[in-house]
Each structure stands twice: as C-alpha cells, then as structure tokens.
Chain A
Amino acid sequence: MKYKVKLEIFEGPLDLLLFLIKKEEIDIYDIPVAKITDQYLEYIEMMKLLDLDIAGEFIVMAATLMQIKSKMLLPPDETPQQEMEQEDPRSELVKRLLEYRRFKDAADELAAKEAVSSQLFTRKTEERPLLETEDSPFFEASIFDLLTAFSKVLKEVPKDTFYRVVKDEFTVGEKMHDIFHMLVNQTRIFFSRLFSEAKSKLEIIATFLAVLELIRLKEILVIQQDPFSEIEIIKNPETVKPSGK
C-alpha cells in the first residue's frame, strides 16, 4: 500500500526563499544568488523525494533564480545609454520578497488575533429568522445548499475505487426506499450520513437524486438549523400516506 501525504510545508516559492534567507542569515538586500539558487534547487529535489506536490510556481521561481544568476555573471554593460541605470538584476526579486514578507507578517498578526477571538464565544443564530418563521425553528435548505453539500460529499469519495470495475447497480428507486426506511427508525438523518457508506460516485449520485425525488414528492423536508450548518432530512409532517416505494 502506498500512502501519499500532502503537506503544505511552504506556502509558495517566495515563502521558501524567505525561509532560506532567514536560515542562512542572509542580508535580503544582498542575496548571494548562486548560493541561494543551489539551496533552493536542493529543497525542490527534497520535496520531490518526499513525493510532495510541487506547484508550477516553484519551477518558475527556479528558472527566475537561474536567470538572475546568469545576469550577475555578465560584465556590466558599458554602453553610454545604459550607464545611468544599471539596475541590479536582483532588485525585482527583492521587491517581491519584501512585499510578500510584509503580508506574511500581517498574516501572523491576524492569526494571533484570530487565536484570541476564537476564545470568545457568542450567540450563534440570527434572531430574525426565528421571528419570521413563527414557531418552526428551521428554514428549508435551498437547492444551492443541497448542491454545495453534494459537491462536498463527491469530493470525499475515495478516489482509488474509481479504477475498480464494480458491477453494483444502484437505482434511484432503491435509494428512495432506503432513505424512507431510515426515516422509520430515526426522526432525522444528517445529509452527510446518507453518503458515508457509499462506495462509488454512481451510488452517491443515485442517493442524491433519490433525495431530490423525495423532496419533489413532498415526502421529506431538508432543513438547516442555522445558515451553513449541517443539512438534515426529516419526514414531511404534512404528508399523511407514506408511499415511498
């Protein structure tokens, strides 16, 4: 069994460069490009070894570093027009690094503030919906809420099962029946729980269609206690005869 672990070690090439600069105690305004490029490439190799996803941006930065390195090797251009502005080939990169670092620092401070305010708990539900819907302490989830929840479930499908050819047929009718059975024993089912046993995308889709069908037939209600909270499924209290087959 091969495990793939995705770690976000560095937020990007700039983050990696800042890390190297700090580690080597380098003056950011006078970066030894050759040395930093070597180290940068070493890290990229290491990330490859660890089977980490290397985003294209890392490679672009490697190319940029090498370009700067080669520019630094060239003798200064001494044609008269260029005499005035001999820009250091590194200046563009340094600017980007400084800019990024400012926001990285700001992000640290925001994270600290978040940590503080995460210690404070406040009332969660908005009081207005409660007033408007009189005594029912929920509101119906919209189709968009359902689709959002559905796409979340789809993302959680174990990927490798796609390669197996499984001849498991799931029909919407069967799934409707299943859901109905679940509602006999339980008064409410969490939307995500419906899919926890699902083994393939097909099964998930069949289940989802079954939910939609049951809503259309007014057999069930999908509700949310609060905006963005888990969607729950309950039997429609207004339906008298259960005809879930």
Chain B
Amino acid sequence: MDQNELRRVLEAFLFISSAPVPVTQVKEVLGVDEPLVKKAIEDLKVKYSGEDSSFRLYEIAGGYRLSTAPELAPYLKKWFKGQKSRLSRASIETLSIVAYKQPVTRSELEAIRGVNVEGPLDTLLERGLIRITGRRETVGRPILYGTTRLFLEHFGLNTLKDLPILNEFSEFDLSEEERDKIAQLNTGAYDAVQEEGGSYGDNQTS
C-alpha cells in the first residue's frame, strides 16, 4: 500500500466513523507502520485546513475525528434545528469536579459544591459523560464516579491531561504575606489533585 492509497483509505475511515479513529486501530486493520499512518494524518490535516474545505480534522479522545469547520456552525444549527444542547451550570460544575478528582464519591462532590448533586449526577450519567467506575472500599461502600470517553469528545479534549490546569489562586497576585496565609490554609488538600495527575492518562475509558 503506497502512501497515496493509505491516505485515501484513512480518509474513508474517518468519513464513515462517528467515534474518533485511533491510530493504533488503523495500524492494525491495515497492517502499516505507525509513522506512515501519522504521515497520512498530517497530509489530511493540511488538506482539510484549507479555506475552501468544509471539514477539519481534530485529535480528540485518543483518536482523530472529522468534523465540520467551526465557521459553518450557524448553518448546521439551522439544519439540525439548534440541537446540541449545552450543559447547565450545576452539571458543568459537578462534571469539572468529577474530571479532576476522579474517582470520586457523591459525598465528596457535595462537600466541594456545598449543595446536593443528585440532579446533576443523574443528568451526567444519562448523557454518558460520567460513569460509575466502582465502589470505594470504605464504610457504606460508596459509588465512585469517573468521566467517559464521551466527556473528552464533548469538550474536544484529547486526554484528561488536556484539562485546563486548576488555578490555585487565580485572582491574586501573590504577595509574600499571602503566600504565608496560603501555607497556613493549605493542609495538603490542594495537592491531592496534582499528585493524582500522573494517572490521568490511564483512566481513559473506551
């Protein structure tokens, strides 16, 4: 299979697939080396980046996906009669905590948000953005929640590592004095996420 043919086949795969196409899958199906697949992807990216192209090729949720160009959105919204519902504030706040703290229990979510999260959790589960990942082996064996591949797709993220970095204290220009205050307040709770950071990539679901 020469590079030209590979590019055409890959383009066909991308065209018919609704889920992002992982490079490894292409490699296995076609029995070609990864660098060649990557080269073909780069070629296609260039092809679709042109001003006269209706599509764009993005790396999302561990694969590549063809989508319409953003500037065509107004027309597509008309075509679909404005589907594509966005999440409510409550849902998105809950989801952001799940994303950073996963696996996380409901009571942990409620401790951070200060309100009941039952409604948002139901919505997020129903929309497939989070899933039950198991139970924590403590008293009551509470259910643990984590994000799904669809979550990455919904927000256009490639892996959990692409999540925006949590602001420690965004609105403050830290002075020496404030640093001390933070040091006092910080009892290690804020470091938890950073420590778990390394495992984010492994949590990907399929």
- The answer to the question of A57 belonging to the interface, with a C-beta cut-off of 8 Å to chain B, is yes
Residues 59 to 83 of chain B near chain A (Cβ within 8 Å): 65-68, 70, 72-73, 76, 80
Partner of B93, one of A29, A57, A103: A103
Q: Total number of A-B contacts with CB less than 8 angstroms?
A: 133
Residues 94 to 134 of chain A near chain B (Cβ within 8 Å): 94-96, 98-100, 102-107, 109-111, 113-127
Total interface residues in chain B, CB < 8 Å: 53
Query: Are A102 and B189 also in contact (CB < 8 A) when A57-B116, A113-B156 are?
Result: no
A57 touches B96 (CB 8 A): no
Cα(A98)–Cα(B189), bound, Å: 11
B52: A residues at CB distance < 8 A = none
A11 touches B92 (CB 8 A): no
A113 touches B155 (CB 8 A): yes
- The answer to the question of A20 belonging to the interface, with a C-beta cut-off of 8 Å to chain B, is no
Cα(A61)–Cα(B157), bound, Å: 36
Cα(A178)–Cα(B91), bound, Å: 39
- The answer to the question of A14 belonging to the interface, with a C-beta cut-off of 8 Å to chain B, is yes
Q: Which residue of A lies closest to B185 (CB)?
A: A95
A12 touches B92 (CB 8 A): no
Residues 137 to 175 of chain B near chain A (Cβ within 8 Å): 154-157, 163-164, 166-170
Cα(A207)–Cα(B166), bound, Å: 50
- The answer to the question of B115 belonging to the interface, with a C-beta cut-off of 8 Å to chain A, is yes
- The answer to the question of A166 belonging to the interface, with a C-beta cut-off of 8 Å to chain B, is no
Interfacial residues, chain B to chain A (CB-CB below 8 A): 15-19, 56, 58, 65-68, 70, 72-73, 76, 80, 84, 86-90, 92-93, 95-97, 99-100, 111-116, 154-157, 163-164, 166-170, 178, 181, 184-185, 187, 189-190
